[in-house]
Chains A and B, each alone.
Chain A
């Protein structure tokens, strides 16, 4: 392995690993995040093989990509808005805009207090029944008519935003700008300028994102600085590991570290049981099972102790009695 080849391979693999991880965390589409994560895994596997740890490199490819990534992508496809179409086109940092290239933004039909739900009902791509679930978690806030014109202005601003030259703004500089453009106060979720459609914060990141970015930058800078300033590691550059390293690792696993190996196997067994126990279909009726029961083509059960009947007498003065009688007859017919 010549020096030039090793340098080239290292540069390629390191770039793929770091750029993949960076793209994973900055793109607006969760599916793209999974694909970027696969690139990062492949880069790290290349680094492992370059470090002559062949077994770990192959294990990385097989387990991380074959196992974890398939699980992750399955979960992502179950989720709401896996393609990031809701979030494309809002104010992004330059890196985020670059890694979200080509995502077509999708707007709800009209931006209003319940424009989000109508837009959701129009395309049932990801999650059925998502609208009511989200309106449960993010209750619509008061001041709806004040929000209407805000939402329209906001929509226009969001449309203009991709064409705006924002390259000069840094990641943090774009943040107050977005808030100033929105101009109305969000609930705690609304710090970073997500598309606030119908009182709902659509952003993919939490409001502490600037803090997190500074924290990550600080930790990375401190680590890299410590590594660069470290005088010397006790390296043994001449010692070459065994070419048959997989055999050596297998012997170690079966002899010296057998207890750890068996313990890991037992942990996997328990983990499989736990995951199956958690993810099995629930015995409690949720929305899906209830809908399935309603969809069965059969006579509905007669309504006993109908609370609606007195209320009907209050509203419509005429004949509550035939309705009640119809229920009785119906029940008798069934019985």
Chain B
């Protein structure tokens, strides 16, 4: 393992920062969901990197990564269904137009 653990973690941190920027700055709901996917990728990368470098004999970390992907899939399906429904009603996918859902 010539590449140290810190290198993987730095990549994960960069992905996390980019995902955070996307979630905050983007206007379209689909783009926000893409940012959430990047955030989940960063988390999975961190988990797998820690597994490989600190406890390679215990495969529980991979179970956690699989469960993160699964929950991400459900979140994606529900989120896209919501966006599709709202887009059908309001003809826009920008989350600013959904502000009255807060009530």
Chain A residues within CB distance 8 Å of chain B: 3, 6-7, 10, 14, 17-18, 21-22, 24-25, 30, 33-34, 37, 40-41, 44, 47-48, 50-53, 55-56, 59-60, 63-64, 67-68, 71-72, 75-76, 78-80, 127, 129-130, 132-134, 136-137, 189, 203-206, 208-209, 211-213, 215-217, 219-220, 223-224, 227-228, 230, 233-237, 239-241, 245, 248-249, 252-253, 256-257, 260, 264, 267-268, 270-272, 274-276, 278-279, 282, 286
Contact = CB atoms under 8 A, between A and B. Distances in A.
Given A80-B92, A260-B63, A25 B35 contact: yes
- The interface residues of chain B, by DSSP majority, are classed as helix
B41 A278 contact: no
A206 B78 contact: no
Contacts of B88: 282, 286
A80 B6 CA distance: 42
A68 B18 contact: no
Given A236-B54, A245-B62, A80 B93 contact: yes
Contacts of A245: 59, 62
A290 to B, nearest CB: 13
Chain B interface residue bracket vs A: 35 or more
Given A37-B37, A215-B21, A241-B57, A253 B66 contact: yes
A64 B69 contact: yes
Contacts of B48: 47-48, 51, 53, 56
Nearest to B91: A133
Contacts of A60: 41, 44, 69
